[in-house]
Amino acid sequence: MMASRSLDTLQPKVRAAAENVLENAEISNLSLLIYCTRRSMEEQARLYRKGRSLDEIKRKADELRDRWERPDLADLLMDVGPQYGVVVTHAGPGQSMHNYGLAFDAVPMLHGKPVWQITDRPSEEVWHLYGRIVNEAGLEWGGDWKHSDRPHAQERGARWRELILRGAG
């Protein structure tokens, strides 16, 4: 199952903030494509496995089972099958705000095309505008993080460490 793109899958507070982001982007003449909202635990497990060795996957499964008391998520991670490619996330199942409907990913568009990388001044400007709009909507922008995740926006102050222990998702 692929991750959702629908704002309807987000928690009400985050959905309202995402709608605010889209409205303010339009006012600012910024075209945005929201390409990921809620992500199932299974999809998160598949994404986590990408580009990782079996030993790394087993270590994450042990962490989920032992530290976070989630043997269900550990088993899911082990059972979703091999994934090839490059590492795309550091979050295992239950460790992403997407799993709880509290985050979305978007990419700015220039001339009808997504701007995935900052390669010049116009691409830098659209990413910074997106980040400003996200912050003004009261969300936390992944572009402000030490390990930047520019597309990512999430509920400010939400913590997956609390949610995973409650068995949420």
What residue type is 129 in one-letter code?
L
- Sign of the Cα pseudo-torsion (23, 24, 28, 33, in order): negative
Mean pLDDT of the chain: 95
Q: What is the CATH number of domain 7-39+97-159?
A: 3.30.1380.10
Strand partners for 33: 107
**What does the alpha-carbon distance between residue 4 and residue 98 come to, in Å, rounded to a whole number?**
10
For residue 69, the SS3 value is coil
- Sign of the Cα pseudo-torsion (154, 3, 127, 29, in order): negative
Per-residue pLDDT band for 107 (boundaries 50, 70, 90) equals very high
Which pTM value belongs to this model? 0.92
Report whether pLDDT(84) > 60: yes
- Could you tell me the residue ranges of all domains in the chain? 7-39+97-159
What is the per-residue pLDDT across 109-163, written as a single tens digit (0 to 9) for each? 999 999 999 999 999 999 999 999 999 999 999 999 999 999 999 999 999 999 9
What is the per-residue pLDDT across 12-43, written as a single tens digit (0 to 9) for each? 999 999 999 999 999 999 999 999 999 999 99
